[in-house]
Structure 1
Amino acid sequence: MADFVVPSSFRPETDAQYRLKGPMHAQRHVRIICVGAGASGLLMAYKLQRHFSNYSLTVYEKNSEVSGTWYENRYPGCACDVPSHNYTWSFEPKLDWSAVYASSREIFQYFNDFAHKYGLRRFVKTQHQVGGAFWNQQKGGYDVQVQDLSTGKTHTDHCDIMINASGILNNWAWPAIPGLDRYKGVLLHTANWDENVDLEGRHVGLIGNGSSGIQVLPTIQPYVKKCTTFIREPTWVSPVQGLEQHVFTDQERLEFATNPDALTKYRRDIERGLNGQFGLFLKGTNTNNDTETYFREQMSGKLQNDYLEKRLIPDWHVGCRRLTPGIGYLESLGKENVETVYGEINEITERGCLCDNGQEYPVDVLICATGFNTSFKPRFPVVGPGGNNLQDAWADEPRSYFGIAAPDVPNYLIFLGPNCPIGNGPVLSAIEAQADYMCKLIDRFQTHNIATFAPKAEAVDDFIAHKNQFMNGTVWQDPCRSWYKAGKPNGPITALWPGSTLHYIEAMMEVRLDDWDVQYSGNRFAWLGNGYSQTELDPTADWAYYIREKDDDAPLSRRRKLQLINKSGTVSQVDSGVNFTGKREQNGMGIAESKL
């Protein structure tokens, strides 16, 4: 029997008719557009290339290189606070990391090498920025407006399925302080760093004590003339108990490169610790209480300053804001050439910052370590059937299905969307779970006569209600100003998943089609085709594959499947991790993960 492939000229309205000519589950051609060639976009390209055929993919990337935020962020001290051997895809270790905590340049190299190794650049068009996606009622799918940044010309592309992988910690933002445009010194943002600026011997102003600010200060302090750091609120600065910075020796790198078992064990031990952190985020747990006591002692000991202790150590629970291992940060605040100004900046003047204490602080260079726009609202119009724009729907509160899709916006998928586990534990493993889920949806779309798929509005309503109820018992609900809540001290928690990362991975293992609104073109059973199976399509297949000597079927129940996947029975409880206080316990705590 000859191979049967649905041609690329095929359209959804003729799908049901065409499928009757071929075997069941015939693969129609699927046109996919992905926005962004950062970590998520590259992973999706890898997954599609590995698992699919009869598809086309274009990844539009606004930068001149791949790797997204790790290409863009180059400020002094920029790094990731996740141990480097665990800031990789689960299946793609890097053997030669230089240290436990790697720089942004080294992480960029990892993802750049990943793209090169698997030939992913053939899918990517750099210096191309998506400006809008509009549902095509006649053809189905999206007409996507794309600008070639090298020429300024704009064209329209079309896809059946659109994937937004533009990221959450990527859309950097200036602080909303009046007068920023009046400043006559050198103005920098950590996420848009000018490497030609020399800070040595200059008076530098630093706005912010989030992840970026905590890394910048101890890096520049030794060689600037003076640094005036502006802080408006307290934050927990975590120690790095058990995983201090360490430069790997030649012998250690050789061991990782030549002994795969040793490297795998090292990675798994750290990952267990990272996954053991979740108790920290639950109010009233011993893990949270003990950690908070430990943090207070650590911060007080490093600050050695009553004024700063009263203002920088929070009265809300540990974990309400993103935790950042502050290597050298608190100690830097006490250096002779560092001045800490606590309070609000009322305005930026021509010379520097005018603060709420009535004093102006002139500086030669002003660094804004003020983070990103984390509203989750798409950066470009995403207009579905009926003309509804997702930008408008998510203007006040983004409401997604499991962080990957939005109701009433069909055939549109999102990496790291609202309420996914971006701060609950290891994030790259969660991205892998999202990619696998998307592939399952794409597979069903390709092998059935599906016209559109989108999460049901009532399913999203129920998910949001469950999420809100769950969050009441977490430290994230405390009145701290956090990007988890779009910068609002008492706003809804829009960034985080209601559970651990392992909880999310398990929730994403199976596509719950009862949560999805699936519309078919023609008869929903047209996928049954002409009566032949895919097995009969393959002359090299065993047409009696189900005849065997014993029952070797894969598990059918969810519990048995999970026990096989998670290697139940292979790990002792004492291997589960160490918390910040140094105590080993079954629900041990590792280090929270973030892009710094």
Structure 2
Amino acid sequence: MTAPEATSSETPDNPVAPDHSVAIIGAGFGGLTMALELRRLGIEDFVIYDRLDGVGGTWRSNVYPGVGVDTPAHLYQYRDHMNPNWSRLFPKGPEVLAYIERVYQENNLLPHVRPNCEVQSRSWDDEHKLWKLRIDDRWVTARFVISAIGPLPEIKPPDLEGLDDYRGTVLQPASWDTSVDLTGKRVAVIGTGASAVQIIPEIAPAVGQLTVYQRTPIWVTPKWDPAMPPWLNELFRRVPRVQRLLHESLDSMYSLTVMWVLHYQRTPRIGRMVTQWLDEFYRREIPNDELRAKLLPTYTFPCKPVSPTNAYLQTFLRDNVDLTTDSIERITENGIRTVDGTEREIDVLVLATGFRLYYDPQIYRDRPVTGRDGFDMAEFLEKQRTSTYHGYSVPGMPNSFTMFGDYGWTGGTYHIAAEVAATHIGRVLAEAERRDAIDVEVRQAAAEEWTAKTAALTPNSLFEGGTCDSTNTQYINHHGQSVFYRPVRTRRARADAQSFPLGDYIFAGR
């Protein structure tokens, strides 16, 4: 990977010609997808900035015990860059990272990557029609900027009184210190989300005592995770079409699940049947009525993300594992005190308290983004209900796109959502190049019309009936809108990306 380029030090000199035609922020799956699309379009003047020391995004930063995919590997990949050699149906993190690195290498994209470069702010220069990006102590400029930071871009700082007073070791899933030996230690895990579901069963056999602090229980499902037989991997290598068909079949299955959630209120019987099945699963896994009552969610399935696992529930049957649902009063110097006055001393504190979502205004307070005429992204997200064009463009933000915005999740995995986004954004960039346009902005009316039409497709979704309001689900933003999922099938989303009217954008020349 190329080392960071040297540019101006303190203030940008506002050159008419930008340093790069396109700047991509993030070298995970989103950045990789966009780079592949730019390469396909013949656009080579692009750069990919990432704050980590290499590519991979989430799969580089998350190295906690048990990290792995929650989606079958044969779906968790690109249609045009299949890996026939997955070791099992749900591979672990290092294998996924190796896949990402291989796709970067095979497509000669690493020379475009600038590691250890955190974009701290960006602002639109309307005079010269370019973006100014502050990276550490220097400025770079780009004609177009594409944010590829994904739906969960930042760790959410825990709101725990006394945390700074704690004298022991603190670990977080996205910044795990692999040098810390947990053997025989007294460990507390705060949180029961997707990362915790993977961490808890993995560390329980090694630690001396494990206490899990649960605020909201999580729905988990049985996990079928066989190793891939050599003959099947060989078949995938020799006849790639077979794996492609498997990918398409899995996408159809997962897409149907999403569509069921988005039309949940039309088929209440299915919801009741699924809940009954899961109730029986929890009953088999946890015979103890009192313990099962703590672990079994009371909110509707699946208001919150669901994790497949065969180990999580049974971990709480171990003699060295305790589950507490009492609220935490504060973190002390040596442990955790709950509201009932109980203080438990610990050696290691694991904060699995989740992430900020893409729509969290704080992300843009920490790293300001200023568009045309003083448009402030943090203020827009805080005060305005959604108004977006296909989730990728916002009026007031010329020459700027995001790989994941409102109504952004399409299909079974983020890869599919990112591919749809890259197709849309690529069409706009190609048209700008054809017209020699240097100022491209979505029309306000187009954004409002598309948002209204899309929102009208969700009145029967699980999230619109008030069932999930108390769960603090990521699928509902702080305005009470369920804007995470795009309420159309994958085929429709791909067709829309290939056929939306380019006239919905304003293309201005030099």
Question: TM-score under structure 1 normalisation?
Answer: 0.77
Which residue of 310, 316, 330 corresponds with 1:347?
Answer: 330
Residue matched to 2:41: 51
The aligned amino acid for 2:108 is G
Letter in 2 for 1:251: W
Mean Cα deviation higher: 281-290 or 171-180: 281-290
Paired amino acid for 2:30: S
Give distance in 2, aligned partners of 1:397 and 1:179. Answer: 34
Q: 1:453 to 1:94 in 2, by over 3 A?
A: same
SS of structure 1 residue aligned to 2:140: strand
Gaps of 5+ in 2: 1-13
Q: Distance in 1 between matches of 2:194 and 2:146?
A: 28
Alpha-carbon separation, structure 1, partners of 2:160 and 2:325? 16
Residue from 383, 391, 394 that aligns with 2:381: 394
1:134 maps to a residue whose letter is: S
Report the counterpart of residue 23 of structure 1 in structure 2: none
Is 2:337 the counterpart of 1:380?
Answer: no
Map Cα deviations across residues 63-86 of structure 1 (whole Å, 9 max, x no partner).
Answer: 111011110000001011111121
1:407 equivalent in alignment to 2:395: yes
Larger Rg: 1
Are the counterparts in 2 of residues 131 and 145 from structure 1 also a CA contact under 8 Å?
Answer: yes
Contact 2:120 2:135 (8 Å CA) reproduced: yes
Residue identity in the other structure for 1:255: L
Identify which of 28, 32, 47 aligns with 2:22: 32
Tell me what 2:265 maps to. Answer: 283
The answer to whether structure 1 residue 421 and structure 2 residue 421 are counterparts is no
Of 169, 179, 190, the match for 1:186: 169
- 1:299-318 equivalences in 2 (<5 Å): 299-318=282-301
User: 1:332 deviation in Å?
Assistant: 0.9
Q: State the secondary structure of the residue aligned to 2:273.
A: helix
Cα offset, 1:30, TM superposition: 7.5
Q: Per the alignment, do residues 375 and 521 of structure 1 end up closer, same or farther by CA in structure 2, a change over 3 Å counting?
A: closer
1:397 CA drift (Å): 5.4
Residue 184 (structure 1) shift: 1.0
Superposition deviation, residue 503 in structure 1: 4.1
Q: Which runs of 5+ in 1 are unaligned?
A: 1-10, 15-27, 148-153, 523-596
Question: Do the aligned residues in 1 keep the contact of 2:435 with 2:509 (CA within 8 Å)?
Answer: no
CA distance in 2, matches of 1:256, 1:428: 20
Q: 1:259 deviation in Å?
A: 3.0
Q: Does 1:221 align with 2:181?
A: no
2-structure distance, mates of 1:396, 1:258: 54
Q: Distance in 2 between matches of 1:289 and 1:262?
A: 35
| RMSD of aligned Cα (Å) | 2.5
What is the aligned residue count?
Answer: 485
RCO comparison, higher one (Cα < 8 Å, 6+): 1
The range that moved more, 503-512 or 349-358, is: 503-512
Q: Measure the CA separation in 2 of the matches of 1:229 and 1:215.
A: 13
Q: Identify if the C-alpha distance between structure 1 residues 468 and 344 changes in structure 2 by more than 3 Å, giving closer, same or farther.
A: farther
Q: Distance in 1 between matches of 2:73 and 2:385?
A: 32
TM-score under structure 2 length normalisation: 0.89
Aligned pairs for 1:406-555 (under 5 A) are 406-421=394-409, 425-477=412-464, 478=467, 479=469, 480-486=471-477, 491-516=480-505, 518-521=506-509
1:51 & 1:188 partners in 2: Cα distance?
A: 43
Matched residue type, 1:298: F
1:273 aligns with: 253
Give the Cα–Cα distance (whole angstroms) in 2 for the partners of residues 303 and 174 of structure 1: 32
Task: Indicate how the Cα distance of structure 1 residues 279 and 158 shifts in structure 2: closer, same or farther if over 3 A, else same.
Answer: closer
Partner SS, residue 24 of structure 2: strand
Asked whether the equivalents of residues 212 and 323 of structure 2 are also in contact (C-alpha less than 8 Å), the reply is: yes
1:121 aligns with 2:110: yes
Match of 2:230 among 239, 246, 250: 250
Q: For 2:77 and 2:221, how far apart are their aligned partners in 1?
A: 23
Which residue in the other structure is 1:296 paired with? Answer: 279
SS of the aligned residue for 1:335 comes to: coil
